[in-house]
Structures are given as C-alpha cells and as structure tokens.
Amino acid sequence: MTPTCEKIDELLDLVKQQQMFLEMFARSWVSDYRSSGGTVFCGKGCSNCCSLAVHTGFAEALAVARQLDDSQAEAVEAYAIKLRDLVQGVTELPEYLRLHRQQMGFCPLLNESGACSVYPVRPLSCRSLISTKESIWCGADFSQIAAAQRDAFIASLDRKVVAFPSHYVAVLQESGKELEETCAKRMRALFGFALYGNLGVLIHLIRSHGLDVACCSGAAACAEALVKSGFNHPLLVTIS
Ligand code: SF4
C-alpha cells in the first residue's frame, strides 16, 4: 500500500489499545454474567450478527484494510459497490438498515466456516455486540415477525443488562461507542477532522481510492476522493 503519514500510525496504536481493552472488558463481563446465572450465546461459527451493517471510525477500517489479501479485498470491493448502488436515493437511516439486512447478505469478511477472517483486528462495533439470546434473534428481521412472537421475545429480555428492546448487552455497546468517540476526538486533534463510515466502504476506499493518503492531505482531499469514487453518500461515509 502507499506510504502514509506518521499521524496515521499514532491512530492505529490507539485503536489497537482500545480493541484490547474492550476485549478484556467483554470477557470479564461475560464471565461475571455467566457466574450469576445469565446466559451469553456468542461463540465461534455463530455469525448471524455479521449480517448487520458495520460502521467504524477510519483507523479501525485502516487496520483491517492492511491485513487483507487480494481475494478478501475483491469480496470487499464487490460488497462496497453493491451497497453504493443500493443506497442511491435512500436518505433515512432505518431504510438503509432495512435494505442492508434484506439485500446485502453477510459481511464480506466472514469466511466459509462462518468465522470472522479478520478476527484479531475486527472493529469495536463487532466486539461490543454480545448476545443474551439465541443467534436466530441476531439475524431476525423484526419487520417480518408476527406481533405475538415479537412480544414474547421482548418479555423474555433481561432488562437489567440489555440495550432494550434489543438483546445485546448495553454496557458493552456503550463502551464500544465511547472508545470510538475517543478515537474520533484524537483524529480531529491530529488531522482537524474525523472520518466514520461503513466498514466495507472505508476499506474499499482505502485500498482502491487512496483514502488513507487523502487523509494525510486534509478533509478537502478526502471529500474529493469520496466524490471521485462515487461514495459521497452521508449514510456511507461522513467527514466531521
Ligand atoms: S468484521 Fe468480522 S465480526 Fe465484524 S461483521 Fe465482519 S465478519 Fe463479522
């Protein structure tokens, strides 16, 4: 890949520390919850949450982009282009999330065994998604579920720990968001702006459109790269 500036390496170091911190926190939380009688259903090969749209800060996407081989990069490119075409004319987040779930399939980084092919560098948003219900619920499209079944699901939730009305652990999601915001603040301090967006789209822009090099030149260069590549859609990437 094209060499970038030292500021990017500083961001990558921060992201690595944050991901390790959340990993340890999640393990400790899960262990305590299980000891107190709670059940967590996440495990290797359990991948239904990998059909959700994953959004991350720029540095986390860069950490993944630097790990990919050519075939992984091709799968990510196909995903990014399909998503770019799918969201043309879409302006609302709920519509974007619904279309993503119904038409994008699984994350392009999920391998044939149903495991994450970039597990050591997977983003905070993936690490923070810990399920207190069976995996079928992680892949459920609630707009297609009968009201009685949906009510039974909601009644079964452990409201003390979940981000209600979801079945994911609230404190871990909140921690992931706080860590993401810390990284965004650091990026603003170093670069004068922060980038946030869809994981596959950011990876594709880094690998094929020089978004990492553009970052080192400033927000205007990033905005230009988004326009030139056709990915200047606020639901896909934002510059703040
Ligand atoms: S990056 Fe890995 S954990 Fe995250 S959605 Fe993709 S396959 Fe799943």
Nearest CA to ligand 1 atom 2: 116
pLDDT of the chain along its 240 residues, tens only?
Answer: 555 788 999 999 999 999 999 999 999 999 999 999 999 999 888 899 999 999 999 999 999 999 999 999 999 999 999 999 999 999 999 999 999 989 999 999 999 999 999 999 999 999 999 999 999 999 888 888 999 999 999 999 999 999 999 999 999 999 999 999 999 999 999 999 999 999 999 999 999 999 999 999 999 999 999 999 999 999 999 999
**Rounded distance from Cα 171 to ligand 1 centre (Å):** 20
Asked if residue 117 is part of any domain, the answer here is yes
C-alpha–C-alpha distance, residues 84 and 81, integer Å: 5
- pTM metric for this prediction: 0.95
* CA dist., res. 9 & res. 6, Å (int): 5
107 CA: nearest ligand 1 atom = 6
**What total number of domains does the chain contain?**
1
Ligand 1 contact, 68 CB (< 6 A): no
Tell me if 112 is assigned to some domain.
yes
Helix (H, G, I), strand (E, B) or coil at 170: helix
- Give the domain extent around 75: 6-239
Whether 96 is covered by a domain: the verdict is yes
Radius of gyration for the alpha carbons in the chain, expressed in angstroms and rounded: 18
DSSP 177-239: HHHHHHHHHHHHHHHSS-EEEEHHHHHHHHHHH-HHHHHHH-HHHHHHHHHHHT---TTTEEE
Q: Look at residue 137 and tell me if it is in a domain.
A: yes
1 in any annotated domain:
no
